[in-house]
Amino acid sequence: MANFHDKVVYQIYPKSFCDTNGDGLGDLPGVTARLDYLKDLGVDYLWLTPFFPSPQRDNGYDVADYRAIDPRFGTMEDLETLIREADKRGIGLMLDMVFNHTSTAHPWFQKALAGDRKYQDYYIFKDGSPDKIPTNWVSKFGGPAWEYLPALGKWYLHLFDVTQADLNWENPEVRAELAGILRFWKDKGIKGFRFDVVNLISKPEVYEDDHQGDGRRFYTDGRNVHRYLQELVAAGGIDGMITVGEMSSTSLENCIGYTDPDRHELTMTFSFHHLKVDYRNGDKWTLMPADHMALKNLFAQWQEGMQAGHGWNALFWCNHDQPRAVSRFGDEGRYWKESAKMLGTATHLMRGTPYIFQGEEIGMTNCHFRSIDQYRDVESLNYYQILQQQGKSSAEAMEIIQQRSRDNGRTPMQWDGTTHAGFTTGTPWIGVVDNYPAINAAAQVDDPDSVYSYYKKLVALRKQHRVISEGQIEFLYKDDPDLLAYRRWDGDSQLLVLCNLTGHEAPVQLPAQWQDAGVLLGNYPDAAPAAALRPYEALVLSLD
């Protein structure tokens, strides 16, 4: 069975990728228009975040119809053209299935609101009075996770925005509807799926207050989640297709369960522990420099643990919910190019399937917006208020939003040095980062030393060297806080990957057999085994 170990996925946030009709919103024809660029980069699959009809309260993660295209993004014909044109270039499409919740604008929820019992049972409604919230759980976007509907005398659960009502997976009719949606897209020629927060679908039998946390321990990796996934995959007819589950606050044990091929659940999982090493006490809204030891330990634990358990990781730094990696873990100033390449090296040569988020391959940075009016994300707007209610000044709140906002990953793709970075001829829905005259795709595609060319090489290497796609992994120099290092091996071929996570020199004592090994890759011109790595240096040595 296909294992996707030598594949690379490119994530597209269509709203910010390429606008072809001047309305300031990226669209599906915009993706088609850029397929040659993606083909040149060498990626195998495109994961497109949701473009289904939606009130866009959460940029499309509030779906009102799972089987249609929001006219803002184009038509079904545009999608069919994209599928066909991508296929000609050997690229498959993966769609984003938001199955934990629907928009409250979805007809199912609307029928529930109108009193239809069948559809009320599609969601998690609890009878009660307005003064008695069912549990004290907190929404992931801030505030209570329940909303009261006076007309029905009921509360409904929403783990995310108030317009994102959680579906009731206990109801077999819901599960059958969702499997039908997968079959619908598979029949259209879609090659794989990403499942949004799919480890939150199985809720507890009894709803109780959480006196230790925000409620997540009651529904994360819930009691029936593995059974529901197995059923969905079988009923949706997607076993053997490429799938990735987004796992919120998950555990290694569960991710092994989700991805062990013998269990027929998912191909791989996104976990986020490594992207919380700069959250003080796990709180996204309290700033802290990245803890490199924690980062190294998490990589080692997940890479070695998934290997031991026959699981498979999705490898990534960036997505539409995360600040830009080069701004966060690298140095977007003096060592912009070196650190962007080093970060790419670190994940691409690990055991797993790499994901490139649009713009990462050209080293796009955080947006550094100066006013809250420039932000668009519901989470940022909510927390700007919440932080001030908690006693922060507006300037302090702004600094946190600047570093943590999901909009950092959502600014328009920087195609070239023309107005609005070539993203649109109109007014973009969110501002373009002002460094686009220097950081853009047109400036990089033909430059052999660019971040783009380096990413292109990383993608190609995975296909040329079995040791990258199939090799074993072990982490080295585990006590050195500056050096992320691992060894890959497959038969006689071996790789040593060394990454300096810092802006200063990092001494390294190479074992004898590596001292005159060949250099497979490096982000400095005269790469060679040495006594120290230069700032943000990445060095990949190989032995055959």
Which residues contribute to the site for Ca ion (CB under 5 A)? 19, 21, 23, 25, 27
- State the nearest-atom distance from the C-beta of 49 to Ca ion, in Å: 15
- State the nearest-atom distance from the C-beta of 277 to Ca ion, in Å: 37
Q: Which of Ca ion, ligand TEU, none does residue 167 bind (CB under 5 to 8 Å by kind)? A: none
Structure tokens at 302: 């997940």
Closest CB to ligand TEU among residues 56, 444: 56
Closest CB to ligand TEU among residues 106, 140: 140
Cβ pair 103, 63 in contact under 8 A: yes
- State the nearest-atom distance from the C-beta of 285 to ligand TEU, in Å: 9
Cβ pair 157, 165 in contact under 8 A: yes
The DSSP secondary-structure symbol of 534 reads: P
- State the nearest-atom distance from the C-beta of 319 to ligand TEU, in Å: 7
Instruction: Give the whole-angstrom CA distance, residue 503 versus residue 518.
Output: 25
Q: Which of 70, 196, 278, 331 is catalytic?
A: 196
The angle subtended at Cα 13 by Cα 139 and Cα 259, nearest 5°, is: 70
- Using DSSP's 3-state secondary structure scheme, residue 292 falls into helix
Reported as half-sphere exposure (CB side, CA atoms, 13 A), residue 541 has a value of 22
Amino acid in the structure at residue 117? R
- State the nearest-atom distance from the C-beta of 248 to ligand TEU, in Å: 5
User: Residue 197 interacts with ligand TEU (CB under 6 A)?
Assistant: yes
The contact pattern for ligand TEU, residues 315-334, with x = CB under 6 A and - = no contact, is -----xx-------------
User: Residue 160 interacts with ligand TEU (CB under 6 A)?
Assistant: yes
- For ligand TEU, the nearest residue by Cβ is 61
Structure tokens at 408: 């950092």
Element of type H or E holding 97? strand 92-97
Structure tokens at 384: 């700007």
User: Residue 284 interacts with ligand TEU (CB under 6 A)?
Assistant: yes
Closest CB to ligand TEU among residues 78, 321: 321
Instruction: Give the whole-angstrom CA distance, residue 321 versus residue 405.
Output: 8
Q: Which of Ca ion, ligand TEU, none does residue 196 bind (CB under 5 to 8 Å by kind)? A: ligand TEU
Q: List Cα–Cα distances, 74 to 29, 32, 45, 80, 414, in angstroms.
A: 7, 11, 20, 11, 22
Task: Look up 173 and say whether it is catalytic.
Answer: no
Q: Which of 58, 147, 246, 278 is catalytic?
A: 246
Structure tokens at 207: 């709803």
By CB under 6 A, what part of segment 370-429 binds ligand TEU?
379
Q: Which of Ca ion, ligand TEU, none does residue 93 bind (CB under 5 to 8 Å by kind)? A: none
Q: Which residue matches tokens 């009894």? A: 206
Backbone φ and ψ for 386, nearest 5 degrees, come out as -60, -45
**Number of Cβ atoms within 10 Å of the Cβ of 516:** 11
The DSSP secondary-structure symbol of 293 reads: H
Structure tokens at 356: 């490139």
Q: Which of ligand TEU, Ca ion, none does residue 321 bind (CB under 5 to 8 Å by kind)? A: ligand TEU
User: Residues with catalytic annotation?
Assistant: 196, 246
Which residues contact ligand TEU (rule: CB under 6 A)?
A: 58, 61, 98, 140, 160, 196-197, 246, 248, 284, 320-321, 379
